[in-house]
């Protein structure tokens, strides 16, 4: 693998498979009456190619946070409770407890075996609610399926690893899908666009009177109970997703797609209640983290974008194309808004609602990424409408559409254009999503080095690393502390100076940390092993060595 990530490893067979699947999708979507079964299996195959290639070609799970979450889950399994005042994520332990339940049901003592294939499994789990949203969002059948495809080819935001946010994203999609499949807009009395816009937040609509349910009242109450259970699970599992749910339900209320405003009230009360009571130990003394960036949208966007456009030329290219990929999708979505006819405008409101989160929180410099991810299921549907717009609906297109021609040549050209679009966005996904694989994917010998430290570090020991990009964290959180020099240094020499001043009991040196320094920080090749040799001269000795990892121990510690 080179600094450009997994795309540097792929051969012609990958691209042939992607082209073949895209051709099948293009041919089917160009038909007047496409077959749902064929399209569904085509999407599943596409997901296997796009999200299954990486785990199929790596030895262990990627991303350090997935190992840390494994450690959190193991602690809950061993002690029956979360660890307070250790990490903010432990104040929302629902997902970790659920993962522990799954591990126990699977007959394993740790969720470590789940890490490698979890992204593929959770992406496949997203398909069901995505298809429901596509069916009930006001798009045509063909645009709905193309929108689901564009969701997957546009999902470069790597949040599907073993994490609470991946599970809660499934909750988010499910709540929105259920709401859209249950409540529909009543016929509007307004005769023009301005009149419809003025009715959006009328008292009549806020009460839910502009919507109706397709269910019997008793079944509707049961459904609300199920939604409450999902929203409660999300409220105790993640800090951000419950509020994205609130904004999505608020958007559906404005779009006449929520006949039960009490669902919105429940969605608001649950995370506030948990934050006030269940996460009390987090927010006491940390109010500035919650409210410190309220209203500072410029600073929030700057911290989300500016802090990432750094590093070597290869890393800068990947980051810039991530921005371009997002801009292309949103440009297509804007064109879709102008071209499509619809009975409601829920997609437009759902696409914009997550960005309200930026007014409240920067979310550690990831607020813009998360808002884009919450918006993606709906912007991808709008983008699909730019290619396959719906022509009939109560709300007419802004841009008049040409009368469709039913000539075979036109259909073949349309199918070819769709196939090229899928291939292009698929290749772009592999490039921008896998651009960090050079330092975010690990191998078995690196994990063996970490497990060596787990087995030999005494209680209370300090383990030093030059970067947190290594498979560490699945041991007990209380066994030892991890010290990283990455936020305290700007050069290999300063990293060495910080490491010397700290005197850790163990130092773990891995290839992934070396790659991180080269790509993200612009350090010279071999910088980490030069620091490692300096530490050996200071009295550290090598106690573990493999092809891509070493462990140094200080004295008799």
Condensed to tens digits (0 to 9), the pLDDT of residues 418-428 reads: 999 999 999 99
Q: What is the pTM of this model?
A: 0.90
pLDDT band of 60, cuts 50, 70, 90:
very high
**pLDDT tens per residue across span 270-317:** 999 998 888 777 766 555 555 555 555 554 555 455 455 666 788 888
Which range of 385-399, 453-467, 476-490 scores highest in mean pLDDT? It is 453-467
pLDDT band of 386, cuts 50, 70, 90:
very high
Neighbouring C-beta atoms of residue 34, cutoff 10 Å: 18
Q: Where are the beta strands (DSSP E) in 309-435?
A: none
pLDDT of residue 84: 77
Those residues with Cβ within 8 angstroms of residue 324's Cβ, 6 or more apart along the chain or in another chain: none
Q: With H, G, I as helix, E, B as strand and everything else as coil, classify residue 79.
A: helix
pLDDT of residue 308: 55
Can you tell me the distance from the alpha carbon of 406 to that of 308, in angstroms, rounded to the nearest whole number? Answer: 48
Residue 556 has pLDDT above 60, yes or no: yes
163 close to 212: Cβ distance less than 8 angstroms: no
Burial label, 555 (beta-carbon count in 10 A; 0-12, 13-18, 19+): exposed
CB under 8 A, 24+ apart: contacts of 71-75? 71/473, 71/474, 71/475, 71/476, 71/477, 72/96, 72/477, 73/99, 73/100, 73/103, 73/110, 73/111, 74/100, 74/109, 74/110, 74/111, 74/474, 74/475, 74/476, 75/476, 75/477, 75/478
Neighbouring C-beta atoms of residue 58, cutoff 10 Å: 17
Residue 170 has pLDDT above 90, yes or no: yes
Percentage of residues of the chain with pLDDT beyond 70? 88
Mean pLDDT (the chain, rounded):
87
pLDDT band of 191, cuts 50, 70, 90:
low
CA 94 to chain centre: 18
176 close to 129: Cβ distance less than 8 angstroms: yes
pLDDT band of 95, cuts 50, 70, 90:
very high
Lowest model confidence (mean pLDDT) among 73-82, 130-139, 368-377 = 73-82
Those residues with Cβ within 8 angstroms of residue 105's Cβ, 6 or more apart along the chain or in another chain: none
Residue 498 has pLDDT above 80, yes or no: yes
Those residues with Cβ within 8 angstroms of residue 224's Cβ, 6 or more apart along the chain or in another chain: 260, 262, 263, 266
Bridge partners of residue 544, in order along the sequence: 551
Question: What is the enclosing helix (H) or strand (E) of 518?
Answer: none
394 close to 343: Cβ distance less than 8 angstroms: yes
457 close to 480: Cβ distance less than 8 angstroms: yes
Bridge partners of residue 213, in order along the sequence: 183
Percentage of residues of the chain with pLDDT beyond 90? 56
154 close to 376: Cβ distance less than 8 angstroms: yes
pLDDT band of 189, cuts 50, 70, 90:
low
pLDDT of residue 205: 72
Phi, psi of 190, rounded to the nearest 5 degrees: -70, 145
Lowest model confidence (mean pLDDT) among 95-99, 106-110, 205-209, 515-519 = 205-209
pLDDT of residue 375: 96
467 close to 64: Cβ distance less than 8 angstroms: no
Residue 445 has pLDDT above 60, yes or no: yes
64 close to 46: Cβ distance less than 8 angstroms: no
CA atoms within 13 A of residue 275's CA, in its CB half-sphere: 15
Q: According to DSSP H, which parts of 458-557 are helical?
A: 492-502, 511-516, 527-537
**pLDDT tens per residue across span 230-269:** 999 999 999 899 999 999 999 999 888 898 999 999 999 9
Nearest by Cα to 354 from 367, 373, 371: 371
Burial label, 541 (beta-carbon count in 10 A; 0-12, 13-18, 19+): exposed
Q: With H, G, I as helix, E, B as strand and everything else as coil, classify residue 205.
A: helix
Residue 507 has pLDDT above 70, yes or no: yes
Neighbouring C-beta atoms of residue 215, cutoff 10 Å: 15
Packing angle between helix 164-182 and helix 217-235, nearest 10 degrees? Answer: 160
pLDDT of residue 406: 61
pLDDT of residue 194: 54
Q: What is the mean pLDDT of residues 497-514?
A: 92
Residue 32 has pLDDT above 60, yes or no: yes
Lowest model confidence (mean pLDDT) among 165-179, 257-271, 281-295, 322-336 = 281-295
Burial label, 381 (beta-carbon count in 10 A; 0-12, 13-18, 19+): buried
CA 200 to chain centre: 31
Q: What is the DSSP letter of 88?
A: G
Q: What's the alpha-carbon Rg for the chain, to the nearest Å? A: 25
CA atoms within 13 A of residue 114's CA, in its CB half-sphere: 29
């Amino acid at each position: 693998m080179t600094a450009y990530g997994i795309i540097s490893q792929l051969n012609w067979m990958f691209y042939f498979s992607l082209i073949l699947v895209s051709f099948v999708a293009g041919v089917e979507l160009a038909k007047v009456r496409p077959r749902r079964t064929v399209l569904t299996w085509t999407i599943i195959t596409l997901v296997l190619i796009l999200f299954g290639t990486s785990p199929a070609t790596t030895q262990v799970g990627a991303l350090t946070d997935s190992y840390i979450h494994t450690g959190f889950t193991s602690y809950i399994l061993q002690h029956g409770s979360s660890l307070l005042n250790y990490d903010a994520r432990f104040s929302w332990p629902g997902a970790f407890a659920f993962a522990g339940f799954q591990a126990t049901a699977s007959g394993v003592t740790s969720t470590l075996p789940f890490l490698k294939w979890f992204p593929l499994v959770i992406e496949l789990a997203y398909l069901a609610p995505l298809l429901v949203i596509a069916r009930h969002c006001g798009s045509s059948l063909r645009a709905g399926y193309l929108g689901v495809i564009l969701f997957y080819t546009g999902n470069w935001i790597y949040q599907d690893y073993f994490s609470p946010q991946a599970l809660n994203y499934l909750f988010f999609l499910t709540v929105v899908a259920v709401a859209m499949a249950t409540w529909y807009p009543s016929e509007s009395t307004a005769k023009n666009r301005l009149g419809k816009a003025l009715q959006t937040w009328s008292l009549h609509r806020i009460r839910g009177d502009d919507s109706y349910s397709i269910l019997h009242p008793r079944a509707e109450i049961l459904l609300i109970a199920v939604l409450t259970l999902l929203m409660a699970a999300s409220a105790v599992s993640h800090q951000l997703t419950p509020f994205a749910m609130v904004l999505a339900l608020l958007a559906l209320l404005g779009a006449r797609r929520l006949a039960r405003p009490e669902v919105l009230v429940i969605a608001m009360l649950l995370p506030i209640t948990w934050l006030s009571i269940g996460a009390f130990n987090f927010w006491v003394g940390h109010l500035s983290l919650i409210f410190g960036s309220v209203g500072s949208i410029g600073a929030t966007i700057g911290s989300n974008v500016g802090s990432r456009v750094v590093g070597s030329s290869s890393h800068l290219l990947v980051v810039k194309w991530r921005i371009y990929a997002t801009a292309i999708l949103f440009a297509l979505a804007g064109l879709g808004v102008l071209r499509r006819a619809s009975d409601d405008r829920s997609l437009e409101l759902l696409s914009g609602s997550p960005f309200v989160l930026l007014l409240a929180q920067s979310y550690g410099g990831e607020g813009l990424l998360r808002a884009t991810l919450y918006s993606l299921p709906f912007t991808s549907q709008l983008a699909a409408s730019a290619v396959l717009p719906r022509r009939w609906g109560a709300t007419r297109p802004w841009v008049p559409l040409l009368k469709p021609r039913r000539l075979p040549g036109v259909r073949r050209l349309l199918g070819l254009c769709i196939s090229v679009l899928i291939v292009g966005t698929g290749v772009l996904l592999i490039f921008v999503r896998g651009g960090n694989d050079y330092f975010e994917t690990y191998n078995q010998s690196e994990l063996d080095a970490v497990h060596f430290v787990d087995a030999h570090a005494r209680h209370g020991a300090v383990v030093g690393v030059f970067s947190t990009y290594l498979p560490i964290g699945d041991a007990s959180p209380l066994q030892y502390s991890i010290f990283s020099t990455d936020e305290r240094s700007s050069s290999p020499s300063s990293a060495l100076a910080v490491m010397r001043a700290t005197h850790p009991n163990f130092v773990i040196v891995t290839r992934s940390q070396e790659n991180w320094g080269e790509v993200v920080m612009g350090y010279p090749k071999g910088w980490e092993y030069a620091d490692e040799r300096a530490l050996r001269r200071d009295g550290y000795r090598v106690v573990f060595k493999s092809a891509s990892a070493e462990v140094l121990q200080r004295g008799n510690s």
